[in-house]
């Protein structure tokens, strides 16, 4: 911080720009997800600026996003975080995408008193320190694993009336395994088999053949669209017809493309962001349209979550009436009923967004309906 | 009396080929012996067995020094070398990226000790030991007139010098028995003469028994005391140079009409 | 003797000077967290690459399994600090990591070091992947989610001092009877055996030593970054360390330090290039190797043995 | 047939060959003698295109070849038995020989050549299927020579063909060289065994430190006092 | 029983992918002793080429396959010329690092221009499942298997029967001596890269079709697995690469079949290590012990 306001902690915007640092996986193993998030951020930033920016104490600020690549590594993330908060002097950080990269950034943003919002760090413990106390500067715009996994379990029991489930989970990050764990904890029926796959796997025939005759009513497949799409495809091709339930990592238009429309039947996934709700929700609709305009494709969940992360920063600034990062962090914890593309959210005591969760049902490659779950 | 080296009925089989078949021989301390024979007779193969590079298919090799008796077959080459047998190779095998001095010092590894603590902490005892190793290596090089190339990279030396360094390196292991595989190959008559002087010197000054393989009859006949002749894997003759020179079988299979310098 | 002591003092002076210089810069705020991060990353990379250079550059054994040993150290620290949150706990965890890594290195090394060249590389890579998969599926390691909120005991002074100790130890190893023995294995193992060197033993010694330093590097990484997960210890991470070794010059410790610094600078600067970062990095890597095929320094080493002594010929 | 004029070859900064000129006429045996490191092998490597000269001209059958690729030079009819044998390890003796005949079109009848070679080197016939790497030193030397003959060269470059051979075989190798020569192959020979080389050579050149010091017919050089004392062992 | 048969088919399909890639590795390695890390990325290039020509030029599958092979062959030759040829006489590990650099470059430049996320490959061939007594095979699986087998046989013929094949072996052993036989090593090496890369390109299109999902990093994991396959089979050996590929495919499948999916990679590596300990040069690798 500069000498002028050295009494104050954190970074304060100078001139009439508010800087938002983006600590993102733009290369490396999960660059695909980082790229989608970057698009959401770009959209949010350009929208906000074209509407005149953010007004604080009567002064209008434009926002500027500074994108830095953490190479999908923890040390890259720690370094990028440090550069953003110390050298670029940003007022808030958005990102990184994965839990591990996000936790690696915590010490450095904390030291600099800058809030960071991860669009997709889903591990339950992400916002907490090791004593279970909430981390003051750490936020997210996505659900934690427990909430989503438990919701899926409830849905299988209550709505699908499933008694036996086979789980196929992504084993390369906390996401798949965390969801699977939460699901198992909540689910009252039997788990007939739990299988794991790795990010980038393409062949699931062996696994599916192995579980095919285990007599399950549904498959729970927490993971990302790139692999789950293939699971759906290959499952249907070898004749597994049971419902396949997944998580928000599946909520991507590419899911049906990869699975093939003909195969994408009886698919359900938990998601904060329902393309269906565009019919009723103007915020969602405007996001969807703007995204389609700007990038020529339907908006994926990752983009929506990142988009909302930027809006969380905006909301916090407006609430704090300050362009100081410390103030922004304090205000962010108090966000209430912020309308976002992924629903109307309130930041709870653990810095998790409380927002309604939806379950989308896909048939023939199309989302048929969205079921809101409490 | 026990022999320095006793070879009993050793055989080396490669698939269907008996490269060495049922060879027995003895070597006594202080001797200078040549092993000759046509190309492919099994000379190098025999050397390989004697020095632990290959294990014989059958037969026994016993090596006896003041330190004790050792059954060579079944031992690794480094154990054999540590026991006191050292060698050079038909195709020079120097540590070619290292200096000549290091080549020699490496050969002293097995008979020197530096413990972990003194190495890591650079205790005075470490420097003392290093100095001793270096001094000994330098002295050895000096003795063979190689001290000026101590810091040269071994692989960059002319062929003849590489051969000499290889011999000196073998000597640095403090062998009681030294094997030289074609030390004069690729040398001109002048260099060969110098090599002979060198071998004599080793024998005299270092108390080493020498066995060498050589096709240069001028060298063999003038230098050695005893000759073993191998052909098709078997020993066909054994004797003094003059006996061998006049052995009809050896002449027919090996020497031919080649002019052989008189002893 | 005097010459050696003088050289040692120069080294000591440089190391102390480096420490004081960094400390002063930290104190005056010239170095902020970002630069400190870069320093520490370079420091840890030096520790890791030193060990690998010993194995690859000096002993000539192509190991691609460094990340596995690093993981062992990292997880030892990550797990132990959960219950032993104290400096003693940290150092204890480093020691435990080293011991486990040594045991693992012996188990892996004894059978595989018989293999040659690329076959060894693949086998060690496989062994390292096995370690990673096991960690990925264990409960105590928290599976793929990894561990976070690891207390930070590996501050920059700790990393700096450990780095210096590692450099000294590896340099001392290399410049001794042991170093000559492993180099002879690299040059010609058949000739080495014929000179009385137990090649298996020396290969293993270097491999184990390298593994131990990898574990130390892993421990420091875990405690500095405070987050670890199995995905950080994959093949690509072994390769990242290999790149440092080769770029600096396999067989040059000075080169390793230089390469780690150069790559650290490149990496830090490229952080400003967003999406193009890795494209530029890749091109830089190709160009550096094409124009400096022996590595930046080849096998050259910085030495102070000649300092202050005219005409002295050191060895 | 072959004319080398003012050849200079360097290894980095080291001048290995300086201003060397000599020629080989069709049907001759010409030998280059000289101490270790005189530059003999370097000259051969330059002729066969493995090394590039710094300056100078090499003409073969009236064509300049100093910039031709090694492959093109072999096709033009020059074969080399390299120093240090360079046999193809891991390939059998027979495969090595087939590689020697690589430049011939598929389907060329090589049986006469094979017969000729196996007549000269009966050991190789016995060892057709053996991995060439496991041959003894002398056997490898024979293989290297046989392999070069497979190309049916017009000009054969021999770099120390007698190295590592037994006395009886050294005799034989010189006989073989003479036979090959009589059968129409021109020969450029390098030998440590200068006495024998000169005795079968039509002409010889004496090299020292990269320069031609003397030239003459084989007989003249054999009789020369200087040559005698320096290269023939007194 | 049916399940086992079905799994075997699964394993063979997966294995044929690895085998196709392993062939390219083994050829390049066999000739210049370089682990061509970028090989998996050349396969990715093939897949992307197939994707674009089918999607935007609407060519049929066969043309896509052949044109991808041509394109990747050219890429392979260019990569060799620019990145590896200058290092012909450098230590091999240097060339390995360059290969890694090339791999990074291809992955990231493709991400930069075409985006890093997965996309679906146009399904030009409609999938049919043939049900044969309880287990099923798809036409695409058959296509892949047959293509792989045909290419393997063709390759084996090239190596064993043509002069180029012989020249490849000679260059592999001793490029200098090969030159003295009238062989131009540069041509041979270019040819090797062209052939190996073409196979990878074919593999890319086939895999795109089979799994219907391609992305710039798709070459990484199969690349490494394929290299492992080549090593298991005995590097440099064509039948070895094929057998190694199938072996690993079947192994992975079987490990998953018994429910140990989380350990499938570990199992592959354990088997790899065991095979190498028993046969230090792989299954078909020649162990030419150095003669002293
Ligand atoms: N590993 C092996 N496999 C098969 N045959 C081998 C092997 N090693 C050597 N031989 C064969 O054994 C025989 C003896 O070889 P060796 O090298 O001992 O001969 P040598 O007497 O040293 O000959 P030279 O004087 O030519 O060096 C040769 O015919 C050789 O081809
Ligand atoms: N690869 C190389 N690098 C540097 N210098 C070399 C190289 N090869 C040869 N030389 C030097 O070039 C000079 C000529 O070497 P060359 O091999 O032509 O000699 P030669 O007459 O064939 O000797 P020899 O009888 O030992 O075979 C020597 O001084 C040698 O040291
Ligand atoms: Mg021999
Ligand atoms: Mg020569």
B45-54 per-position pLDDT tens digit? 999 999 999 9
pLDDT value at residue E1: 61
Strands D63-64 and D55-60: antiparallel
pLDDT value at residue B188: 81
Q: Which two tokens stand for residue A373?
A: 């779950």
Ligand number nearest to the C-alpha of D37: 2
| Atom of ligand 1 at shortest range from CA of B233 | 14
Can you list the residues of chain A whose pLDDT is less than 50? 1-6
- Cα gap E277→E285, rounded to integer Å: 13
DSSP character for A299?
P
Contact C227, C61 (CB under 8 A): no
Helical (H) or strand (E) element with A117: strand A115-118
Q: How far is the CA of D127 from the centre of ligand 1 (A)?
A: 11
B53 touching E, CB under 8 A?
A: yes
- What is the block-wise mean pLDDT of chain B (263 residues), using blocks of 10 residues? 91 92 95 94 95 94 92 93 94 94 96 90 91 95 92 87 93 95 86 90 91 93 94 94 92 73 39
SS (HEC) of chain B: CCCCEEEEEEEEEECCEEEEEEEEEEECCCCEEEEECCCCCCHHHHHHHHCCCCCCCEEEEEEEECCEEEECCCCCHHHHHHHCEEECCCCCCCCCCCEHHHHHHHCCHHHCCCCHHHHHHCCHHHHHHHHHHHHHHHHHHHHCCCHHHCCCEHHHCCHHHHHHHHHHHHHHCCCCEEEEECCCCCCCHHHHHHHHHHHHHHHHHHCCEEEEECCCHHHHHHHCCEEEEEECCEEEEEECHHHHHCCHHHHHHHHCCCCCCCC
DSSP character for A187?
-
Q: Which of these, E187, E282, E206, lies nearest to E237 by C-alpha position?
A: E282
pLDDT value at residue A326: 95
> Ligand 1 pocket: which of B10, B38, B43 to mutate (most atoms <8 Å of CB)?
B43
- Of the CA atoms within 13 Å of residue D216, those in its CB half-sphere come to 14
Contact E265, C137 (CB under 8 A): no
B257 touching D, CB under 8 A?
A: yes
> Ligand 1 pocket: which of D93, D96, D121, D136 to mutate (most atoms <8 Å of CB)?
D136
Which residues in chain A are contacts of E40 at CB distance < 8 A?
Answer: none
Could you report the per-residue pLDDT of D136-183, keeping only the tens digit for each? 888 999 999 999 999 999 999 999 998 888 888 888 889 999 999 999
pLDDT value at residue C315: 36
Residue E267 lies in a domain: no
Question: Residue with the nearest Cα to atom 9 of ligand 1?
Answer: D134
Which residues in chain C are contacts of B131 at CB distance < 8 A?
Answer: 1
Strands A164-170 and A218-220: parallel
- DSSP of C171-203: HHHHTSHHHHHHHHHHH-HHHHHHTT--HHHHH
Buried b (16+ CB within 10 A) or exposed e, D110-124: beebbebbbebbebb
Can you list the residues of chain E whose pLDDT is less than 50? none
Size of interface D-E (CB pairs under 8 A): 73
Interface contact D167-B256, CB threshold 8 A: yes
- Cα gap D46→D40, rounded to integer Å: 10
Q: Which two tokens stand for residue E127?
A: 């999938």
Residue E254 lies in a domain: no
E1 touching B, CB under 8 A?
A: no
E28 touching C, CB under 8 A?
A: no
Q: What is the pLDDT along chain C (315 residues), one digit of tens a residue?
A: 677 788 888 888 888 898 888 888 888 878 888 999 999 999 999 999 999 999 999 999 999 999 999 999 999 999 999 999 999 999 999 999 999 999 999 999 999 999 988 889 999 999 999 999 999 999 999 999 999 999 999 999 999 999 999 999 999 999 999 999 999 999 999 999 999 999 999 999 999 999 999 999 999 999 999 999 999 999 999 999 999 999 999 999 999 999 999 999 999 999 888 888 899 999 999 999 999 988 888 888 887 776 654 433 333
Give residues with Cβ within 8 angstroms of C46, minimum separation 6: C163, C166, C167, C256, C257, C260
Could you report the per-residue pLDDT of E148-182, keeping only the tens digit for each? 889 889 988 988 888 888 899 899 888 889 999 99
- Cα gap E168→E163, rounded to integer Å: 8
pLDDT value at residue E124: 83
Q: How far is the CA of D232 from the centre of ligand 2 (A)?
A: 21
- Cα gap C298→A328, rounded to integer Å: 52
Per the DSSP assignment, residues forming a β-bridge with B25 are B7
Out of B109, B119, B169, name the one closest to residue C172 (CB).
B119
Contact B177, B208 (CB under 8 A): yes
Could you report the per-residue pLDDT of E202-245, keeping only the tens digit for each? 999 998 988 888 999 999 889 999 999 999 998 888 899 999 99
Count up the domains in chain E and report the number. 1
Residue listed under structure tokens 């494209």: C279
Touching E: A residues 240-299, CB under 8 Å: 254, 257-258, 260
DSSP character for A86?
I
Residue E31 lies in a domain: yes
Using alpha carbons only, give the angle A300, A306, A310 rounded to the nearest 5 degrees.
145
Residue D232 pLDDT level (bands cut at 50, 70, 90): confident
Closest chain E residue to B88, measured at CA: E292
Q: Which of these, D151, D154, D173, D152, lies nearest to D162 by C-alpha position?
A: D173
Q: Which two tokens stand for residue A292?
A: 């389609």
pLDDT value at residue B129: 93
- Cα gap D78→E181, rounded to integer Å: 10
Using alpha carbons only, give the angle E136, E139, E143 rounded to the nearest 5 degrees.
125
Interface contact D230-B190, CB threshold 8 A: yes
pLDDT value at residue E92: 87
Give the global pTM: 0.93
Helical (H) or strand (E) element with D118: helix D111-120
Count of CB atoms situated within 10 Å of the CB of A20: 28
Residue listed under structure tokens 């080459």: B77
Ramachandran angles phi, psi of E282, nearest 5°:
80, 180
pLDDT value at residue C127: 96
- Cα gap D31→D231, rounded to integer Å: 13
Out of D37, D134, D166, name the one closest to residue B254 (CB).
D166
Residue E83 lies in a domain: yes
Mean pLDDT in chain E?
A: 90
Question: Residue with the nearest Cα to atom 5 of ligand 2?
Answer: D11
Which residue range forms the structural domain that includes residue E40? 17-219
DSSP character for C228?
E
Q: What stretches of chain A show up as alpha helix (H) in DSSP?
A: 31-50, 74-82, 99-111, 145-158, 174-186, 205-212, 225-237, 253-259, 282-295, 301-320, 325-332
CA dihedral D102, D104, D110, D116 (to 10 degrees): -70
D52 touching E, CB under 8 A?
A: no
- Cα gap C43→C164, rounded to integer Å: 9
Which ipTM score applies to this complex?
Answer: 0.92
- Cα gap A218→A163, rounded to integer Å: 8
Q: How far is the CA of D141 from the centre of ligand 2 (A)?
A: 20
D74 touching E, CB under 8 A?
A: yes
Interface contact E217-A29, CB threshold 8 A: yes
pLDDT value at residue D226: 86
Rg over alpha carbons for chain A, rounded to the nearest Å, is: 20
DSSP character for D92?
B
What are the C-alpha distances in Å from A351 to residues A118, A124, A217, A336, A340? 11, 11, 36, 12, 16
Contact D88, E177 (CB under 8 A): yes
Q: How far is the CA of C156 from the centre of ligand 1 (A)?
A: 61
Q: Which of these, A169, A194, A173, A184, lies nearest to A123 by C-alpha position?
A: A173
Out of A79, A106, A171, name the one closest to residue C271 (CB).
A79
Which residues in chain A are contacts of C41 at CB distance < 8 A?
Answer: 75, 79
SS (HEC) of A217-269: CEEECCCCHHHHHHHHHHHHHCCCCCCEEECHHHCCHHHHHHHCCCCCCCEEE
Helical (H) or strand (E) element with A25: none
D80 touching E, CB under 8 A?
A: yes
Residue E53 lies in a domain: yes
pLDDT value at residue B262: 40
- Of the CA atoms within 13 Å of residue E287, those in its CB half-sphere come to 13
All chains having 3 or more CB pairs closer than 8 angstroms to chain A: C, E
- Cα gap E174→D144, rounded to integer Å: 13
What are the C-alpha distances in Å from B220 to residues B166, C291, D89, D163? 19, 51, 31, 16
- Of the CA atoms within 13 Å of residue E268, those in its CB half-sphere come to 34
Residue E177 lies in a domain: yes
- Cα gap E206→E19, rounded to integer Å: 13
pLDDT value at residue B187: 83
Helix (H, G, I), strand (E, B) or coil at A357: strand
Give residue ranges with CB within 6 A of ligand 2: B 158-159; D 11, 14, 16, 34, 36-42, 83
Give residues with Cβ within 8 angstroms of B28, minimum separation 6: B1, B3, B4, B209
Give residue ranges with CB within 6 A of ligand 1: B 14, 17, 19, 37, 39-45, 90; D 134-139, 164; E 291
Give residues with Cβ within 8 angstroms of A48, minimum separation 6: A54, A63, A310, A311, A314
Which residues in chain A are contacts of C32 at CB distance < 8 A?
Answer: 82, 86-87
Residue E196 lies in a domain: yes
Helical (H) or strand (E) element with D81: strand D78-81
Helical (H) or strand (E) element with E81: none
Contact A177, A230 (CB under 8 A): no
Residue E275 lies in a domain: no
Q: How far is the CA of B59 from the centre of ligand 1 (A)?
A: 19
């Amino acid at each position: 911080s500069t000498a002028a306001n050295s009494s104050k902690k954190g970074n304060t915007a100078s001139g009439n720009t508010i800087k938002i640092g983006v600590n993102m996986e733009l290369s490396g193993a999960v660059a695909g997800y980082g790229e989608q998030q970057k698009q959401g951020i770009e959209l949010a930033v350009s929208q906000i600026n074209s509407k005149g920016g953010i007004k604080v104490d009567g002064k209008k600020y434009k926002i500027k996003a500074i994108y830095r690549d953490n190479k999908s590594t923890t040390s890259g993330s720690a370094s990028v975080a440090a550069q953003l908060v110390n050298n670029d002097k940003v007022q808030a950080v958005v990102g990184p995408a994965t839990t591990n990269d996000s936790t690696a950034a915590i010490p450095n943003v904390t030291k600099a008193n800058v809030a960071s919002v991860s669009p997709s760090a889903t591990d339950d413990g992400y916002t907490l320190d090791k004593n279970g106390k909430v981390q003051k500067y750490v936020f997210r715009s996505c659900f934690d694993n427990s909430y989503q996994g438990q919701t899926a379990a409830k849905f299988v029991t209550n709505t699908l009336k499933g008694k036996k489930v086979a789980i196929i989970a992504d084993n390369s990050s906390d996401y798949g395994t965390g969801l699977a764990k939460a699901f198992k904890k909540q689910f009252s029926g039997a788990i007939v088999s739990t299988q794991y796959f790795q990010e980038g796997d393409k062949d699931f025939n062996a696994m599916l053949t192995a579980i095919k005759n285990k007599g399950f009513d549904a498959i729970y497949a927490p993971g990302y669209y790139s692999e789950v799409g293939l699971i759906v495809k290959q499952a249907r091709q070898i004749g597994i017809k049971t419902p396949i339930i997944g998580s928000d990592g599946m909520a991507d238009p590419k899911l049906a493309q990869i699975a093939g429309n003909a195969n994408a039947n009886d698919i359900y996934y938990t998601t904060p962001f329902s393309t269906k709700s565009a019919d009723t929700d103007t915020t969602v609709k405007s996001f969807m349209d703007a995204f389609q305009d700007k990038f020529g494709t339907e908006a994926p969940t990752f983009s929506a979550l990142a988009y909302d992360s930027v809006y969380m920063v905006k909301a916090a600034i407006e609430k704090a009436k300050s362009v100081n990062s410390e103030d922004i962090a304090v205000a962010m914890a108090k966000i209430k009923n912020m309308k976002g593309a992924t629903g109307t959210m309130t930041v709870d005591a653990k810095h998790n967004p409380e927002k309604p969760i939806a379950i989308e049902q896909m048939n023939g490659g199309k989302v048929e309906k969205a079921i809101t779950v409490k | 009396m026990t022999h320095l080296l006793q070879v009993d009925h050793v055989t080396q089989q490669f698939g269907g080929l008996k490269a060495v078949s049922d060879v027995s021989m003895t070597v006594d301390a202080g001797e200078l012996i040549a092993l000759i024979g046509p190309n492919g007779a099994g000379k190098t193969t025999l050397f390989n067995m004697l020095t632990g590079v290959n294990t014989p298919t059958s037969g026994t090799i016993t090596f006896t020094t003041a330190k004790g008796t050792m059954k060579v077959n079944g031992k690794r080459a480094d154990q054999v070398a540590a026991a006191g047998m050292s060698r050079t190779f038909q195709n020079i095998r120097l540590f070619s990226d290292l200096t000549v001095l290091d080549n020699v010092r490496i050969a002293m590894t097995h008979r020197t000790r530096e413990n972990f603590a003194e190495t890591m902490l650079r205790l005075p005892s470490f420097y003392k030991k290093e100095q001793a190793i270096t001094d000994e290596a330098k002295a050895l090089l000096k003795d063979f007139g190689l001290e000026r190339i101590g810091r040269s990279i071994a692989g960059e030396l002319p062929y003849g010098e590489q051969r000499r360094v290889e011999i000196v390196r073998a000597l640095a292991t403090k062998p009681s028995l030294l094997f030289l595989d074609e030390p004069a190959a690729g040398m001109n008559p002048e260099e060969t003469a110098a090599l002979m002087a060198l071998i004599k010197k080793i024998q005299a000054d270092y108390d080493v028994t020498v066995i060498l393989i050589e096709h240069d009859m001028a060298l063999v006949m003038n230098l050695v005391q005893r000759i073993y002749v191998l052909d098709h894997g078997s020993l066909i003759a054994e004797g003094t140079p003059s006996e061998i020179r006049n052995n009809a079988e050896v002449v027919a299979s090996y020497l031919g009409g080649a002019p052989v310098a008189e002893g | 003797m005097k010459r050696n002591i003088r050289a040692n003092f120069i080294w000591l002076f440089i190391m102390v000077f480096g420490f004081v210089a960094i400390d002063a810069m930290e104190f005056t705020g010239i170095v902020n967290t970002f630069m400190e991060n870069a320093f520490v990353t370079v420091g840890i990379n030096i520790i890791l690459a030193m060990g690998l250079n010993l194995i690859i550059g000096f002993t000539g054994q192509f190991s691609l399994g460094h990340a596995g040993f690093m993981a062992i150290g990292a997880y030892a620290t990550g797990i132990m600090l959960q219950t032993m949150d104290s400096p003693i706990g940290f150092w204890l965890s480093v020691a435990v990591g080293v011991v486990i890594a040594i045991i693992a290195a012996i188990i892996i090394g004894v059978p595989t070091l018989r293999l040659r060249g690329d076959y060894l590389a693949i086998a060690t890579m496989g062994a390292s992947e096995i370690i990673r998969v096991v960690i990925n599926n264990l409960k105590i390691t928290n599976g793929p989610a990894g561990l976070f909120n690891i207390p930070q005991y590996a501050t920059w002074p700790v990393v700096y001092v450990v780095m210096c100790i590692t450099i000294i130890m590896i340099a001392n190893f290399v410049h001794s009877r042991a170093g000559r023995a492993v180099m002879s294995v690299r040059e010609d193992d058949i000739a080495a055996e014929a000179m009385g060197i137990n090649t298996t033993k020396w290969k293993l010694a270097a491999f184990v030593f390298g593994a131990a330093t990898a574990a130390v590097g892993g421990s420091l990484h875990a405690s500095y970054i405070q987050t670890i997960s199995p995905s950080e210890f994959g093949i690509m991470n072994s390769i990242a360390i290999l790149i440092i070794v080769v770029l600096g010059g396999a067989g040059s410790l000075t080169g390793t330090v230089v390469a780690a610094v150069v790559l650290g600078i490149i990496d830090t600067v490229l952080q400003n290039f967003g999406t193009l970062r890795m494209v530029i990095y890749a091109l830089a890597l190709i160009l550096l190797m094409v124009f400096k095929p022996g590595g930046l320094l080849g096998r050259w080493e910085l030495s102070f043995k000649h300092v202050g002594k005219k005409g002295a010929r050191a060895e | 047939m072959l004319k080398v004029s003012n050849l200079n070859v360097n290894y980095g900064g080291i001048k290995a060959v300086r201003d060397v000129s000599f020629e080989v006429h069709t049907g001759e045996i010409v030998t280059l003698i000289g101490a270790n490191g005189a530059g003999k092998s370097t000259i051969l490597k330059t002729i066969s295109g493995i090394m590039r000269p710094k300056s100078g001209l090499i003409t073969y059958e009236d064509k300049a070849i100093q910039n031709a690729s090694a492959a093109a030079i072999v096709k033009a009819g020059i074969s080399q038995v390299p120093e240090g044998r360079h046999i193809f390890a891991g390939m059998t003796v027979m495969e090595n020989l087939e590689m020697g005949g690589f430049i011939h079109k598929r389907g060329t009848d090589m049986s006469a050549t094979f017969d000729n070679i196996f007549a000269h080197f009966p050991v190789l016939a016995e060892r057709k299927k053996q991995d060439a790497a496991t041959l003894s030193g002398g056997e490898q030397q024979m293989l290297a020579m046989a392999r070069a003959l497979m190309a049916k060269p017009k000009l054969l470059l021999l770099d120390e063909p007698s190295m590592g051979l037994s006395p009886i075989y050294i005799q034989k190798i010189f006989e073989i060289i003479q036979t090959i020569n009589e059968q129409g192959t021109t020969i450029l020979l390098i030998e440590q065994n200068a006495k024998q080389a000169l005795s079968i050579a039509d002409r010889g050149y004496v090299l020292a430190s990269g320069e031609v010091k003397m030239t003459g017919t084989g007989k003249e050089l054999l009789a020369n006092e200087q040559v005698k004392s320096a290269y023939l062992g007194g | 029983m049916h399940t086992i048969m079905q799994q075997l088919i699964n394993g063979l399909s997966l294995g044929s992918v690895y085998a196709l890639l392993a062939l390219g590795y083994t050829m390049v390695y066999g000739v210049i002793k370089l682990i061509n890390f970028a090989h998996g990325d050349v396969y990715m290039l093939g897949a992307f080429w197939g994707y674009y020509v089918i999607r935007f030029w609407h060519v049929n599958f066969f043309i896509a396959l052949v044109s991808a092979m041509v394109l990747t062959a050219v890429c392979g030759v260019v990569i060799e010329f620019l990145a590896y040829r200058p290092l012909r006489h450098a230590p091999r590990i240097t060339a390995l690092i360059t290969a890694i650099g090339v791999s990074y470059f291809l992955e990231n430049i493709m991400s930069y221009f075409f985006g890093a996320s997965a996309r679906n490959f146009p399904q030009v061939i409609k999938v049919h499942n043939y049900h044969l007594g309880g287990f099923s095979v798809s036409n695409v699986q058959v296509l892949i298997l047959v293509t792989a087998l045909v290419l393997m046989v063709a390759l084996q013929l090239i190596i064993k029967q043509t002069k180029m094949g012989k020249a490849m072996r000679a260059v592999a052993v001793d490029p200098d001596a090969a030159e003295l036989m009238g062989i131009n090593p540069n041509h041979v090496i270019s040819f090797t890269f062209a052939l190996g890369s073409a196979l990878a390109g074919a593999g890319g299109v086939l895999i795109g079709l089979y799994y219907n999902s391609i992305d710039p990093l798709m070459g990484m994991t199969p690349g490494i697995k394929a290299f492992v396959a080549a090593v298991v089979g005995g590097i440099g050996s064509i039948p070895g690469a094929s057998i190694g590929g199938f072996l690993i495919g079947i192994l992975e499948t079987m490990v998953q079949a018994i429910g140990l999916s989380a350990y499938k990679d570990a199992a592959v590596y354990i088997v790899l290590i065991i095979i190498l300990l028993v046969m230090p040069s792989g299954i078909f690798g020649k162990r030419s012990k150095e003669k002293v």
